Amino acid sequence: MPSLLASSFLVLLAVVSKIASGSLVAESFKIDVHSHVVPDFYREALIEAGYPVKLLDGQETLFTDGFPVSEWNLTEHIAAMDSMGANYSTLSVSAPGVNFLAGQDGGLAAAALATKLNLAMYNYTQAYPTRLGAMCILPLPDINATLAEITFCLDVLNFDGVGMYTNANGTYLGDSALDPVFALLNARSATVFVHPAAPYCAGAAIGYPDPMTEYPFESVRAMENMLLTGQRANYSQINMIFPHGGGVMPYLATRIAGLASLSFLGSLNVTATLAQFRGYLFDTASATTVVQLLAMKEFFGGTGNIVTGTDYPYVPLAQGKPGLAAIQANGNFSSSEMAQINNQNALNIFPGVAKKLGFAI
């Protein structure tokens, strides 16, 4: 039998082999691509803009899109990551972003708040450089201010990527007005996290919170619009993440592709359409059940485009923690598939994170 020293050497040799082949990261290392910040100054800006504060469980609570805005602070965020087993999280700002200030002061108010939020997220990442990254918030639909903010965030603040919304005050992804933004992001092969926002069609949620059902459909609206306008095909070098299991896209993709092949919608090739949809990435936030996970796996033909998301703090720890823990069993995923979902797929689209953490990919 080999000695203890020899056994240790064999273990070390196996580790070195993994390093040499480009896999430094453990299977269980979790990169959460979907977590949010709610700084006090942002909460105050929402209240000042007229978003309602209502009594909920005896406490005054701010609501946006019909949904309570969670209390948040940096210390509790890190503690939640520890509890859920999330090793690294990219921070972003949930809807409505700064869209509610669009048009005020010629767009200066929205741009100023976006910069203030980006600087706050930068400070959070500097406090925990190996735990936190950030996705730039943009003052859309102001194109010039948005282009400047992207350059500032990616070149000066060294953010992991850019955050966008399915629509900014009715300007949906796919709108030609956004082509300059897509061109800049495409030239950089940037990674973009697309969060749903309330649909522009007032009343679509029939009085219920938009996140309940409209958010999943918003992701599909954005992907569908980028398909039909050709914007996604024209700017295909952008890595784009859609949360919540891609919304309802796994269930509607073939229907959309079939209709898009009709002449009055452009006679688009069905196979090419489905390939385009499968070129996105979907996260697991609020998508950890058997039916959702298997739908994603079937849709992508594997796990190569599934990434981990928690939606903390909007999905509370009491739901997020057991949801993460159930992914492997509910999806019947192998260890190698879990490694993809936990970290490998994210590292492939966040090379800066891999470099910062010292991982070979």
As a whole number of angstroms, the distance between CA 197 and CA 5 comes to 58
Determine, yes or no, domain membership for 9: no
> pLDDT band for position 215 (50/70/90)?
very high
pLDDT tens-digit series, residues 19-61: 323 457 899 999 999 999 999 999 999 999 999 999 999 999 9
- Span 5-21, mean pLDDT? 34
Is residue 349's pLDDT more than 50? yes
pLDDT at 361: 65
Determine, yes or no, domain membership for 267: yes
Determine, yes or no, domain membership for 15: no
- Span 297-321, mean pLDDT? 97
Is residue 4's pLDDT more than 80? no
pLDDT at 18: 40
* CATH at 257: 3.20.20.140
Residue of 276, 232, 236 lying closest to 253 (CA atoms): 276
Determine, yes or no, domain membership for 16: no
As a whole number of angstroms, the distance between CA 349 and CA 238 comes to 9
pLDDT tens-digit series, residues 52-80: 999 999 999 999 999 999 999 999 999 99
Buried b (16+ CB within 10 A) or exposed e, 163-177: bbbbbbbebbbbbee
Determine, yes or no, domain membership for 269: yes
Determine, yes or no, domain membership for 160: yes
Domain count for the chain, please give it: 1
Is residue 16's pLDDT more than 80? no
**Residue 22 backbone class (left: φ over 0; alpha: ψ -120 to 50; beta: rest):** left
Residue of 98, 194, 105 lying closest to 146 (CA atoms): 98
Determine, yes or no, domain membership for 10: no
Burial class from Cβ neighbours inside 10 Å (0-12, 13-18, 19+) for residue 69 reads buried
Residue of 199, 239, 194 lying closest to 217 (CA atoms): 199
Determine, yes or no, domain membership for 177: yes
pTM beyond cutoff 0.85: yes
pLDDT at 14: 36
pLDDT tens-digit series, residues 218-275: 999 999 999 999 999 999 999 999 999 999 999 999 999 999 999 999 999 999 999 9
pLDDT at 1: 38
- Cβ atoms of 93 and 117 within 8 Å: the answer is yes
**Percent of the chain at pLDDT exceeding 70:** 93
pLDDT tens-digit series, residues 139-193: 999 999 999 999 999 999 999 999 999 999 999 999 999 999 999 999 999 999 9
CA dihedral 309, 312, 316, 321 (to 10 degrees): 40
pLDDT at 6: 38
Provide the 10 A C-beta neighbour count for residue 217. Answer: 20
CA dihedral 66, 313, 165, 132 (to 10 degrees): 170
Provide the 10 A C-beta neighbour count for residue 225. Answer: 17
Domain region containing 297? 25-357
pLDDT tens-digit series, residues 82-141: 999 999 999 999 999 999 998 888 789 999 999 999 999 999 999 999 999 999 999 999
Residue of 21, 27, 67 lying closest to 46 (CA atoms): 67
List all residues 6 or more positions away from 60 whose beta carbon is below 8 Å from its beta carbon: 53, 54
Is residue 318's pLDDT more than 90? yes
Return the bridge partners of 64, or none.
67
